[in-house]
């Protein structure tokens, strides 16, 4: 009955009468909201609520009770439930509570003072980059973004999407490198791109690792880029790669390269940029305090020197993860040199005179799987926090956990 009401009001709904089944469903898909009984045959609702909020703190949970037990209601609210409703359920009251719960979540997200926004540290390089991104957003232009791992390609796309004219339109992401592991023929490849573009209609379509697209998809993409009309259904397309322009010239079909090289932004690496390293570190320390409920005052001068002298092959993303890990390991008021071995392990720091580690030689899936596992460990299993650490959205994290069979 509940499912019927909700489906008629345009919600996508799954049901189960087993808490164990419900846990598996939550692991497999990033639900936005859960309606759960307080009393269930195999486990009590409070225990399930505690598990759900620990697994993914962004999930809204509304508890249902036919007993109107004040103690249970109070306990559920303390455990993270957004609201409760008594049975028999009045549909109008239920829909009102669901709408209010989503509004509360939206307001909380807006008030979050440390989101994963595009950061602007000191220096003309980042200032000019910021101005370029603003212009792309304002003009709704297609764009090619080139940058090493962790330089902020997704953050740049997110910035353009949020500052652009899309608003209520979707942001759709295609990770071209993921297609390599799938056994598709040429027709299947083309249908994937077409389907994604249909979903992104009027919004923004982001393709990661353009150099991994096969020739069929490259031809299809070229058609979309050159044949679109500038009407309300116009879909902005942003493409990124870790390859240089010269490398892309050798990888892409000539006509596609010719179109893409007209609008290019190259993201700066973090290596050797002391002022920017310290600026990012300060921001991420504030974020760590907020996310981990810490009260750290700063990073001592000796540790700052270590941060500045390190080459940061993973750039901004690696710095963010390092600050979060440092915050977790720090008991006092400041992150100190005492934890340097715990942070960097036994590896030699990559300095100007040392040999560069070729991270790209690792297989992508093994590298990503390891990073996801590290993020989940760092976040103590919390999917929302892990997604924030990795700088990806919850749904992308869920998909990659499933793709790589990541277990804790």
Residues 358-402: tens digit of each pLDDT: 444 345 567 778 888 888 887 778 787 788 777 677 888 888 888
Structure tokens at 65: 């009770």
Q: How confident is the model at residue 168 (pLDDT cuts 50, 70, 90)?
A: low
Q: Looking at residue 185, which CATH number applies to its domain?
A: 3.40.50.300
The whole model's pTM is what? 0.64
Do 200 and 328 reside in the same domain of the chain?
A: no
Do 203 and 238 reside in the same domain of the chain?
A: yes
Q: Do the domain assignments include residue 117?
A: no
Segment 329-342 mean pLDDT: 91
Q: Do the domain assignments include residue 65?
A: yes
Virtual torsion, Cα 162, 164, 166, 171, nearest 10 deg: -50
Q: Do the domain assignments include residue 143?
A: yes
In sequence order, the β-bridge partners of residue 64 are: 37, 85
Q: Looking at residue 311, which CATH number applies to its domain?
A: 1.10.8.60
pLDDT tens sequence across 239-269 = 999 999 999 999 999 999 999 999 999 999 9
Per-residue pLDDT, 348: 39
Q: Do the domain assignments include residue 116?
A: no
Would strands 60-65 and 334-335 be described as parallel, antiparallel, or unpaired?
Answer: unpaired
Per-residue pLDDT, 7: 92
Element holding 192 (H helix, E strand): helix 186-199
Q: Do the domain assignments include residue 119?
A: no
Task: Please state the φ and ψ torsions of residue 367, each to the nearest 5 degrees.
Answer: -65, -50
Q: Do the domain assignments include residue 23?
A: yes
Do 137 and 82 reside in the same domain of the chain?
A: no
Do 227 and 283 reside in the same domain of the chain?
A: no
pLDDT for 113 beyond 60: no
Per-residue pLDDT, 349: 40
Segment 161-179 mean pLDDT: 80
Q: Looking at residue 56, which CATH number applies to its domain?
A: 3.40.50.2300
For residue 249, say if its preceding peptide bond is cis, omega within 30 degrees of 0: no
Do 255 and 299 reside in the same domain of the chain?
A: no
The residue range of the domain holding 217 is: 124-266
Structure tokens at 31: 């639900």
Q: Identify the weakest region by mean pLDDT among 75-89, 180-194, 248-262, 273-287.
A: 180-194
Do 137 and 250 reside in the same domain of the chain?
A: yes
pLDDT tens sequence across 15-59 = 998 888 999 899 888 899 999 998 887 788 888 988 888 888 889
Q: Which of 51, 78, 111 is the last residue of a domain?
A: 111
Do 89 and 156 reside in the same domain of the chain?
A: no
Written in H, E and C, the secondary structure of 71-108 is HHHHHHHHCCCCEEEECCCCHHHHHHHHHHHHHHHHHH
Count structural domains, the chain: 3
Q: Do the domain assignments include residue 105?
A: yes
Do 260 and 303 reside in the same domain of the chain?
A: no
Q: Which of 233, 266, 299 is the last residue of a domain?
A: 266
Do 103 and 199 reside in the same domain of the chain?
A: no
Do 304 and 386 reside in the same domain of the chain?
A: yes
Q: Do the domain assignments include residue 16?
A: yes
Do 132 and 254 reside in the same domain of the chain?
A: yes
Q: Which of 56, 88, 111 is the last residue of a domain?
A: 111
Do 280 and 258 reside in the same domain of the chain?
A: no
CA 402 → CA 23, 29, 69, 366, 371, distances in Å?
14, 9, 38, 14, 14
Q: What does the DSSP 8-state code read for residue 295?
A: -
């Amino acid at each position: 009955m509940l499912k019927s009401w909700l489906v008629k009001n345009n919600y996508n709904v799954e049901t189960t009468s087993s808490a164990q089944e419900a846990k598996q469903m939550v692991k497999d898909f990033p639900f936005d909201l859960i309606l759960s009984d307080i009393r269930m045959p195999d486990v009590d609702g409070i225990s399930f609520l505690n598990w759900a909020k620990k697994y993914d703190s962004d999930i809204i949970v509304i508890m249902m009770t036919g007993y109107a037990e004040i103690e249970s209601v109070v306990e559920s609210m303390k455990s993270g439930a957004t609201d409760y409703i008594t049975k028999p359920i009045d549909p109008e009251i239920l829909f009102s509570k669901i709408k209010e719960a989503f509004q509360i979540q939206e307001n909380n997200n807006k008030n979050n003072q440390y989101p994963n926004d595009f950061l602007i540290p000191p220096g003309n390089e980042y200032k000019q980059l910021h101005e370029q991104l603003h212009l792309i957003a304002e003009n709704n232009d297609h764009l090619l973004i080139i940058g090493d791992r962790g330089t902020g390609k997704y953050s740049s796309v997110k910035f353009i999407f949020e500052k652009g004219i899309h608003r209520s339109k979707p942001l759709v992401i295609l990770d071209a490198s993921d297609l390599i592991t799938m056994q598709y023929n040429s027709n299947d490849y083309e249908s994937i791109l077409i389907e994604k573009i249909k979903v992104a209609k009027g919004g923004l379509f982001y393709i990661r690792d353009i150099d991994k697209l096969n020739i069929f998809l490259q031809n299809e993409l070229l058609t979309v880029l050159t044949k679109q009309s500038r009407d309300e259904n116009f879909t902005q397309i942003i493409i990124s790669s870790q390859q240089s322009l010269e490398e892309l010239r050798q990888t892409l079909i000539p006509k596609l390269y010719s179109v893409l090289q007209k609008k290019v932004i190259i993201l700066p690496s973090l290596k050797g940029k002391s002022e920017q390293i310290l600026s990012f570190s300060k921001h991420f320390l504030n974020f760590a305090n907020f996310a981990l409920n810490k009260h750290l005052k700063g990073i001592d001068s000796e540790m700052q020197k270590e941060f500045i002298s390190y080459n940061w092959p993973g750039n901004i993303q690696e710095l963010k993860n390092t600050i979060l890990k440092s915050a977790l390991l720090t008991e006092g008021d400041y992150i100190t040199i005492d934890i340097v071995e715990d942070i960097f392990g036994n590896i030699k720091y990559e300095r100007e005179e040392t040999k560069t580690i070729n991270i790209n030689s690792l297989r992508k899936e093994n590298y990503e799987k390891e990073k996801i596992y590290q993020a989940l460990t760092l976040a103590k299993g919390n999917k929302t926090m892990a997604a924030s650490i990795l700088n990806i959205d919850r749904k992308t994290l869920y998909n990659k956990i499933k793709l790589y069979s990541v277990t804790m």
